[in-house]
Structure 1
Amino acid sequence: MRGGGAALALLLCTMTVAALVVVGLGRLVGVSRRLTALLAVGTAVCGNSAIIATAPLIEADEREVAFAVWTITIFGTLAVFAFPLLGHALALAPWHYGVWAGAAINDTSQVLAAGLAYGDSAAAVATVVKLTRNALMAPILVGIGVGMARKRRGVRWQAALVQSLPLFVGGFLALALVNTFGLLPGAVRSALNQVSRLLILAALGGIGLSLRVADLRVVGLGPFLAGLGASVGLAAAALFFTSVTR
């Protein structure tokens, strides 16, 4: 797999497989639609950031967000240790491993950790693939917002597009464009990156504090099983598509 078009096609295929697996397993084990949607975007797109961004669009409650974050974090952390072992067992070349890790592991920091465990070149490839995957979050958020607005209000897609975009999504898209075209000085961009990490950490901490053991007992193992199936399905699909497109 050498071209950007092939890489994008691989990401779209693996993300689709992950989303379908989550939806199918969610229905099978009785997970709510909103929690299923959060697990789908968390697994397929970019982990906890995608979950937090999607939650207000689908009106997910705090408990659903907490369960999704908990599930995605567990399997992403396990992947950091499992992927290097599997990569060596399968004798994957560094670039092959990097594409696989970048396409299949949820969080960017986890991708970097798993990549570095395999070598600098694998980490570089994994980071590029993961950042490409992260970039797809913007159009996915817009699509989710439009779909939910049309479903609730029965309006045309043009009006739904305007009505569905909360302020934070508009800000996300604007900053993504600014960063893409290099309009910010390096020092400013670095400072904003640090602030964003702190804010995400604070948000995740607040979500964790809202989660109680009693809540886990009420929901049961459904979200865990759906997340497990999605993580395994995403890893297998990414390995398959990476192998056939190289």
Structure 2
Amino acid sequence: MCGGSLAAMKKRLPGLALCVGIALVATGLGKLLPVVGAPVFGIVIGAIIAAFLKPGAATDAGASWSGKYVLQASVVVFGTGLSIRQVLQTGWHSLPVMLGTLAIALLGAWLIGRALGLDGDVRTLIGVGTGICGASAIAATQSVIRARSADVAYAIGTIFTFNVIAVVTFPFIGRALGMSDHSFGLWAGTAINDTSSVVAASFSFSAAAGAYGIVVKLTRTLMIIPITIALALYKRRQDARAAVAGDTAVDGSAQTPARVSWNRVVPLFLIWFLVAVVVDSLGGIPGSWHPYLSELGSFMITVALAGIGLGTRIGVLRQAGFRPLALGASLWVLVALSSLGLQAVTHTL
């Protein structure tokens, strides 16, 4: 096992080294142009290298590992600078906006998706991906509804497209609207799909917006649990009816009830984030460490975003076709506007 782990790490090193190199360049550019920020430079440089230099399989493992695990670790690091009181207050104050945008995303996916003639699984995957937390929600949902791999690919490609657009455009829109750190963090945390994109966009706006956006996003991520349980129960009822009717799967095997895959429903890094918050709240982390940990977290975010940029595959977006992209675009605009509207109504803008 140890030998296998060492071999896997050696395989990741070239891609991870490239991500770190991109992050160093992006950090320098971010200091020159703070209005853009290092995370945005990181994902853009990574995407440009992927599109034109095509580093290929030599860096794929490290870039993929960086985009997932370095990002998750960065969220845990930021948890060391937050107290339990901050997390609970932020989560509670964001609930009206968060639940409202989730309802709009799911209802919009059903109505607009039907109007576009999209399959029910595609509508569900794009709806939960937009309303909750991007690829993580899609993976959790796929584990219970057993969607086709092609549908999952279309949904992830669609979500990724608007994640990238959000990272680049949201900070500029927020500054143009004169948003505060608090309101922008709430907007990013409720209106941007994937955790990585929320982190990149909110920290590009400001460190305070980033800290707020992370808590809002992780609170929103918890919505995976009730949504996935509801979908699992619905799927089990469908399978039970099919079994009574004597239906079988396409390959002739009997349908089996969907089960909730808990390790995919509750992200492990979310638990470690909460552990970090508790440790800091109990005084386990010296206050003098906080600035350095914040800098480390910011750099890790840029490394992770470089990996995500390197993993950009234009071909996946082309395969998705017009209709999933049209649904994704519609939901993206609806959620972004409704988040601002709900903030105005609840006086959190």
TM-score (norm 1): 0.77
**Hey, what does 1:241 align to over in structure 2?**
342
Letter in 2 for 1:133: R
Aligned counterparts of 1:209 and 1:3: Cα–Cα separation in 2: 37
Deviation at 1:87, TM superposition (A): 0.6
Given the alignment, which residue of 218, 222, 229 partners 2:330?
229
Displacement of 1:165: 2.5
Equivalent-residue separation in structure 2 for 1:221 and 1:106 (angstroms):
19
Is the aligned partner of 1:68 residue 2:155? yes
TM alignment of 1:40-79, pairs within 5 A: 40-79=127-166
Contact 2:145 2:258 in 1 (8 A): no
> Is the contact made by 1:62 and 1:210 (CA closer than 8 Å) also made in structure 2?
no
Instruction: Tell me if 1:90 matches 2:177.
Output: yes
Task: Write the distance in 2 (CA, Å) between the matches of 1:54 and 1:73.
Answer: 17
Pick aligned residue for 2:168 from 48, 63, 81:
81
Q: CA deviation at 1:56?
A: 2.8
CA contact (8 A) 1:63 1:211 kept: no
1:1-246 pair list within 5 angstroms: 4-154=91-241, 164-166=258-260, 168-169=261-262, 172-173=265-266, 179=272, 182=275, 215-216=319-320, 220-245=321-346, 246=348
Match in the other structure for 1:191: none
Q: Give the drift of 1:6.
A: 3.8
Hey, what's the Cα distance between the residues in 2 that align with 1:228 and 1:212?
A: 13
SS of the aligned residue for 2:205 comes to coil
Q: Deviations over 1:217-241 (max 9, x none)?
A: xxx4111100000000000011111
Identical pairs, percent:
33
Name the larger-Rg structure.
2
Distance of 1:229 and 1:114 partners within structure 2: 20
Residue 170 of structure 1, CA deviation: 5.5
Alpha-carbon distance in 2 for matches of 1:10, 1:17: 11
Q: Which runs of 5+ in 1 are unaligned?
A: 156-162, 187-193
* In 2, Cα distance between equivalents of 1:43 and 1:91: 25
Deviations 1:156-182 (A, max 9, x none): xxxxxxx5434x326744958965874
Q: CA RMSD in A?
A: 3.0
Secondary structure of the corresponding residue to residue 179 of structure 2: coil
Query: What is the CA–CA distance in structure 2 between the aligned matches of 1:242 and 1:129, rounded to whole Å?
Result: 13
AA aligned to 1:140 is I
CA distance in 2, matches of 1:128, 1:42: 18
Q: Would the alpha carbon gap of residues 177 and 107 (structure 1) be closer, same or farther in structure 2, given more than 3 Å must change?
A: closer
Q: Partner residue of 2:56? A: none
Q: Determine the C-alpha separation between the residues in 1 that align with 2:195 and 2:271.
A: 20
Q: Give the TM-score taking structure 2 as reference length.
A: 0.55
Q: 1:102 to 1:212 in 2, by over 3 A?
A: closer
Change (3 A) 1:209 1:52: farther
- Structure 2 spans left out of the alignment, 5+ residues: 1-88, 243-256, 280-299
Question: Given that residues 140 and 265 in structure 2 are in contact (C-alpha distance below 8 angstroms), is that contact kept between their aligned partners in structure 1?
Answer: no
More displaced stretch, 137-146 vs 70-79: 137-146
Moved over 6 A (4+): none
